[in-house]
């Protein structure tokens, strides 16, 4: 282990000489003969592990030097031992109150100086070791959080793609609808009706949960899901069950974990109610207006827009202009009026998302 570096600060050359002679065999030494030069030296390399600081100096005294050292993050953790001719107990008490690690009076006693220096350096090494351990631990926690986050996102995407294997023509539907939902939420962040909900955290939950909106389609028979023509009333009733199937599946997943995950609660809302309509004519529960969770209202518009502009087994894709007209016409009936307005006012952004994730 390399020898510790000590900065000796004193305006008296004799005192500098005495301390240098006492400490040079065990430590690397640096010296400063004024408060200003001490502040500069403490912040430069090699950075001292300890400062022996005279209190009574012309210009900048030791108390002021200590204040400067504590104010600079680069020097704030360096322990300081005051060396002074002020021998009053109140002086020592004041020195310790302002942040000195120790307080020694002149004339110095060599054995006491060596012992106090050693004690402070050992304490600093212990603190540095603990800080390094904490830094390593924090880095490991951060790494695992990133890894867990990535695992969660990949798992969500895998489940969403599992649903899409039943309906291969949807392709990048989950990426597009995820992008639409996130864009809508960001556009509503400052809206009076939504600003209390649309925090950065909530928008992240929305984006994370959106890909699971159609997970219930895994429970719909192929003859219905892939039917090229119009569904019969009986078939349509079965098709509508995918919303409940999806929310039930997510609820079962929730029951298997001890700590609730907010994104699963949001995903369950989206899966269950993204086919509800603002006027109450949707399914499965016929909810209306603000009774429909915000997450589901956002997904309702995103899902319809993407369905309109995408090819399906039962229809050709519409143009962006045609899709915009249909959604605008459904303002206040199918869609929350304010969410619809956010979509229409930023329509070019939604076109950009659609083109970014268009089918290959």
Is residue 84 domain-resident? yes
Neighbouring CB atoms inside 10 A of 112's CB total: 11
Give the 3-state DSSP-derived string for the chain, with helices as H, strands as E and coil as C.
CCCCEEEEECCCHHHHHHHHHHHCCCCEEEEECCHHHHHHHHCCCCCCCEEEEECCCCCCCHHHHHHHHHHCCCCCCCCEEEEECCCCHHHHHHHHHCCCCEEEECCCCHHHHHHHHHHHHHHHHHHHHHHHHHHHHHHHHHHHHHHHHHHHHHHHHHHHHHHHCCCHHHCCHHHHHHHHHHHHHHHCCCCCCCCCCCCHHHHHHHHHHHHHCCHHHHHCCHHHHCCCCCCCHHHHHHHHCHHHHHHHHHHHHHHCCCCCCHHHHHHHHHHHHCCCCCCCCCCCCCCCHHHCCHHHHHHHHHHHHHHHHCCECCECCCCHHHHHHHHHHCECCCECHHHHHHHHHCHHHHHHHHHHCCCC
User: At 195, which CATH number?
Assistant: 1.10.3210.10
My answer on whether 132 and 169 are in the same domain is no
- Among 117, 136, 155, where does a domain finish? 136
What is the spatial distance between Cα 186 and Cα 200, in angstroms, rounded to a whole number? 9
Please give the pLDDT value at position 144: 78
Residue 145 domain-assigned (yes or no)? no
Count of other CB atoms within 10 angstroms of residue 352: 13
Longest dimension (CA), the chain: 104
The model's pLDDT over 103-139, given as tens digits with 9 standing for 90+, comes to 888 888 899 999 999 999 999 988 888 888 888 888 8
CA atoms of 118 and 208, how far apart (whole Å): 55
- pLDDT means per 10 residues, the chain with 360 residues, are 89 91 92 93 93 90 92 93 76 77 87 92 89 83 73 64 61 87 96 95 91 88 87 94 92 79 88 97 97 98 95 86 97 98 97 88
In a shared domain, residues 184 and 319: yes
* Domain membership flag for residue 184: yes
Residue 169 pLDDT: 52
Nearest CA to 95 out of 138, 132, 137, 51 is that of: 51
Q: Domain end: 136, 153, 181, which one?
A: 136
So what's the pLDDT on residue 80? 93
Residue 327 belongs to domain spanning: 165-356
Is there a domain that residue 154 lies in? Answer: no
232 and 316 in a single domain? The answer is: yes
Residues 121 and 199 in one domain: no
**Residue 5 burial (CB < 10 Å; 0-12/13-18/19+)?**
middle
Residues 18 and 71 in one domain: yes
| 125 and 178 belong to one structural domain | no
Altogether, the residues listed in the chain come to a count of: 360
The answer to whether residues 86 and 205 belong to one domain is: no
Q: Are both 172 and 102 inside the same structural domain?
A: no
- Rounded to two decimals, what is the model's pTM? 0.61
- Given a contact cutoff of 8 angstroms between Cβ atoms, the answer to whether 250 and 264 are in contact is yes
Under 8 Å between Cβ of 308 and 323: yes
Look up residue 158 and give its two tokens. 């895998």
Position 157 scores a pLDDT of 63
Query: Are 301 and 340 a contacting pair, CB within 8 Å?
Result: yes
| Model pLDDT, residue 168 | 55
Is the domain of 181 the same as that of 120?
Answer: no
Cα-atom radius of gyration of the chain, to the nearest Å? 34
The pLDDT tens digits for 168-199 are 555 588 889 999 999 999 999 999 999 999 99
Same domain, 189 and 329: yes
CATH number at residue 88: 3.40.50.2300
**113, part of any domain:** yes
Residues 132 and 176 reside in one and the same domain = no
* Residue 160, domain member (yes or no): no
Give the pLDDT confidence score for residue 165 in this predicted structure.
63
- Alpha carbons 334 and 248: distance in angstroms, whole number: 24
Would you say residue 143 lies in a domain?
no
Identify whether 151 is part of a domain: no
| Residues 131 and 217 occupy one common structural domain | no
The number of domains in the chain is: 2
């Amino acid at each position: 282990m390399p020898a510790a570096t000590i900065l000796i600060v004193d305006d008296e050359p004799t005192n500098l000489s005495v301390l240098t002679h006492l400490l040079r065999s065990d430590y690397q030494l640096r010296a400063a003969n004024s408060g200003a030069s001490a502040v500069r030296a403490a912040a430069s390399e090699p950075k001292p592990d300890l400062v022996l600081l005279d209190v009574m100096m012309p210009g900048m005294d030791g108390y002021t030097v200590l204040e400067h050292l504590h104010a600079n993050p680069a020097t704030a953790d360096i322990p300081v031992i005051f060396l002074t001719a002020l021998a009053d107990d109140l002086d020592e008490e004041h020195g310790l109150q302002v942040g000195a690690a120790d307080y020694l009076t002149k004339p110095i006693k060599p054995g006491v100086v060596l012992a106090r220096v050693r004690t402070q350096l050992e304490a600093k090494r212990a603190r540095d070791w603990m800080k390094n351990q904490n830094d390593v631990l924090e880095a490991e926690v951060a790494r695992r959080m990133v890894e867990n986050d990535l695992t969660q996102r990949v798992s969500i995407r895998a489940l969403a793609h599992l649903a899409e294997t039943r309906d291969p023509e949807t392709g990048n539907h989950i990426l597009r609808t995820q992008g639409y939902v996130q864009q809508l939420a960001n556009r509503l962040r400052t809206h009076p009706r939504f600003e209390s909900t649309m925090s950065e955290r909530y928008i992240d939950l929305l984006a994370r949960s959106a890909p699971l909106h159609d997970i219930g389609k895994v429970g719909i028979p192929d003859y219905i899901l892939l039917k090229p023509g119009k569904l019969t009333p009986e078939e349509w009733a079965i098709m509508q069950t995918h919303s409940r199937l999806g929310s039930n599946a997510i609820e079962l997943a929730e029951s298997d974990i001890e700590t609730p995950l907010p994104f699963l609660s949001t995903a369950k809302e989206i899966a269950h109610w993204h086919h509800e309509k603002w006027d109450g004519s949707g399914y499965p529960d016929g909810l209306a207006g603000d009774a429909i969770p915000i997450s589901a209202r956002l997904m309702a518009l995103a899902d319809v827009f993407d369905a309109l502009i995408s090819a399906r087994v039962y229809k050709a894709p519409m143009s962006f202009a045609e899709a915009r007209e249909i959604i605008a016409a459904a303002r206040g009936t199918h869609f929350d009026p304010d969410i619809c307005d956010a979509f229409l006012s930023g329509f070019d952004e939604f076109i950009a998302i659609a083109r970014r994730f268009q089918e290959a």
